[in-house]
């Protein structure tokens, strides 16, 4: 729990509520009320204020793209803890087709190159997001290769696993070289816990790990843990049809996301990663 002394240093007056809420596995999260207004507060213990630079940049990019997401109110550091104060979106219910159209709207916002203005700062692994003209270079070298090194360093992969990864890496490199990727604004962590419907039924995106990349990256991640219905995919395809061969390439991004979880949570995800690599190798 946050102390009164800690809360008093926020740029808010008259805080009457500071209730812990679910904020995922990374942050401590709180619902605040002050002067009859609701706020959402994220706190990362003993981290610099820069910890939230990537999320702030992502939320501002979403605002520029006119995609509904929390607004940034303030950020900084209090007693050694990084914090991010956001507008509060009240949960309601809505339909998956609207969500599909919202993600298509996000993916309609083009960039000049692949990458982002800020790195992705995670608690297990971070990614540079260095600008590049090649999606394959960013995805393979900045993401997959880094994850593979982390996984080996944690003794979660042995020599045979790394050999399998190298074979899969070659397949991904070849197939991405044959696919025309366009840099568009991505959520970057689009699982079912990172969207909601507001009280009036509007879909919104939260907790971005934004970058400019191939839109199939986001779509592939939506398939890993479920939570996106048939209406989501139908509405997305109607608004922004995917390119031929997309079903095959989604496995590349499923592999990435499962490797993230293997690195972060350990051997529980070993079998899923191995199965995904086998699927890619089998064509």
> Under CATH, what is the fold of the domain 4-87?
Phosphorylase Kinase; domain 1 (3.30.200)
pLDDT of 199-249, one tens digit each?
A: 999 999 999 999 999 999 999 999 999 999 999 999 999 999 999 999 999
- What whole-number distance in Å separates Cα of residue 63 and Cα of residue 67? 6
pLDDT of 30-82, one tens digit each?
A: 999 998 899 999 999 999 999 999 999 999 999 999 999 999 999 999 999 99
Q: Which of 189, 214, 218, 263 is catalytic?
A: 189
As a whole number, mean pLDDT of residues 250-258 equals 98
The torsion defined by the Cα of 193, 183, 242 and 59, in degrees rounded to 10, comes to 30
Per-residue model confidence (pLDDT) at position 276: 98
Q: Which two tokens stand for residue 131?
A: 């600008």
220 contact partners, CB below 8 Å, separation of at least 6: 249, 250, 251, 252, 253, 254, 256, 257
- Domain spans in the chain, listed from the N-terminal domain onward: 4-87, 99-282
Structurally, at CATH architecture level, domain 99-282 sits in Alpha-Beta Complex (3.90)
- Degrees (nearest 5) of the Cα angle 15, 48, 34? 10
C-beta of residue 78 within 8 angstroms of C-beta of residue 9: yes
Per-residue model confidence (pLDDT) at position 23: 57
pLDDT of 98-136, one tens digit each?
A: 999 999 999 999 999 999 999 998 778 899 999 999 999
Binned at pLDDT 50, 70 and 90, residue 25 comes out as low
Q: Which two tokens stand for residue 98?
A: 């609207």
Per-residue model confidence (pLDDT) at position 36: 86
Among 12-26, 48-62, 74-88, 190-204, name the one with the lowest average pLDDT.
12-26
End-to-end CA distance of the chain: 50
Active site residue 189: yes
Per-residue model confidence (pLDDT) at position 251: 98
């Amino acid at each position: 729990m946050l102390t009164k002394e800690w809360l008093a240093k926020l740029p808010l007056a008259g805080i009457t509520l500071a209730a812990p809420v679910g904020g995922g596995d990374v942050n401590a999260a709180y619902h605040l009320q002050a002067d009859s207004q609701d706020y959402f507060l994220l706190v990362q213990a003993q981290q610099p204020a820069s910890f939230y630079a990537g999320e702030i940049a992502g939320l501002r990019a979403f605002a520029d793209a006119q995609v509904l997401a929390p607004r940034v109110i303030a950020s900084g550091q209090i007693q050694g803890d990084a914090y991010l104060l956001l507008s509060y979106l009240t949960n309601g219910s809505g339909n998956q087709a609207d969500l599909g159209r919202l993600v298509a709207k996000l993916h309609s916002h083009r960039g000049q190159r692949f990458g982002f203005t800020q790195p992705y700062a995670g608690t297990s692994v971070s990614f540079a997001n260095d600008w590049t003209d090649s999606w394959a270079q960013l995805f393979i070298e900045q993401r997959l290769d880094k994850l593979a090194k982390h996984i080996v360093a944690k003794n979660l992969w042995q020599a045979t696993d790394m050999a399998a990864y190298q074979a899969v890496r070659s397949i991904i490199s070849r197939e991405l070289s044959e696919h025309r990727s366009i840099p568009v604004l991505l959520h970057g962590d689009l699982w079912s816990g990172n969207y909601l419907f507001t009280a009036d039924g509007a879909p919104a995106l939260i907790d971005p790990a934004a970058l400019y990349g191939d839109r199939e990256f986001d779509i592939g991640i939506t398939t890993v843990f479920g939570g996106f219905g048939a209406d989501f995919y139908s509405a997305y395809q109607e608004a922004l049809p995917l390119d031929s061969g997309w079903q095959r390439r989604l496995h590349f991004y499923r592999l990435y996301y499962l490797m993230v979880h293997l690195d972060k949570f350990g051997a529980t995800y070993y079998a899923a990663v191995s199965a995904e690599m086998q699927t890619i190798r089998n064509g």
